[in-house]
Amino acid sequence: MDIQIRTHTALHIVKGALRKVLGTKWTASTYANSNHGRITVVSERKPTDEEMEKVFQLANFKVNENIPIIIEELSREEAERKYGDEIYDLFPVPSEVKILKIVIIPPDWNINACNKEHTKSTGEIGKIIGDKWRYRNTKKLLEVSFDIE
């Protein structure tokens, strides 16, 4: 499996873990290059080191579960009716896009409109290793970097 696809899919896993531990909902930006990924989420406070450890423990637990990743292709209207704003991030999907690919990591882990390629299951990603993180208080943004083995 291509390393870029694995790293991109890991962004969805880490986002789900951040939401479980810190309650973060909105993604401000993502980046994936080779085996390195970075996700920036809106967070009201700086997390503790223990909370960030828990994020990566949960992320790797989800990888080890090796559950299938579901991709639904829906009209934008239907997707919004079914999932509301859960499918969106802070960077908008262009209005001319009428069909959305919805990436679902069950149960209740991550759901996102995303037009990239993904692994078929969480187990294909490989171990997610926390690299570094920083919190920008003035912008209320938490930037989390990681590598995958």
Q: Are the beta carbons of 13 and 66 closer than 8 angstroms? A: no
Per-residue pLDDT band for 1 (boundaries 50, 70, 90) equals: confident
Residue 30's nearest CA partner among 86, 124, 113, 121 is: 113
Residue in this structure with the two tokens 């993180």, named with its chain if needed:
133
Share of the chain above pLDDT 70, in %: 100
Domain boundaries, position 11 = 3-148
Answering whether pTM is above 0.95, one says yes
What CATH number should be reported for the domain holding residue 104? Answer: 3.30.980.10
Q: How many domains does the chain have?
A: 1
- Per DSSP, which regions of the chain are E strands? 27-33, 36-42, 70-75, 99-105, 110-113, 128-136, 141-148
Q: Residue 92: what pLDDT? A: 85
Asked if residue 15 lies in contact with residue 58, where contact means CB atoms within 8 angstroms, the answer is no
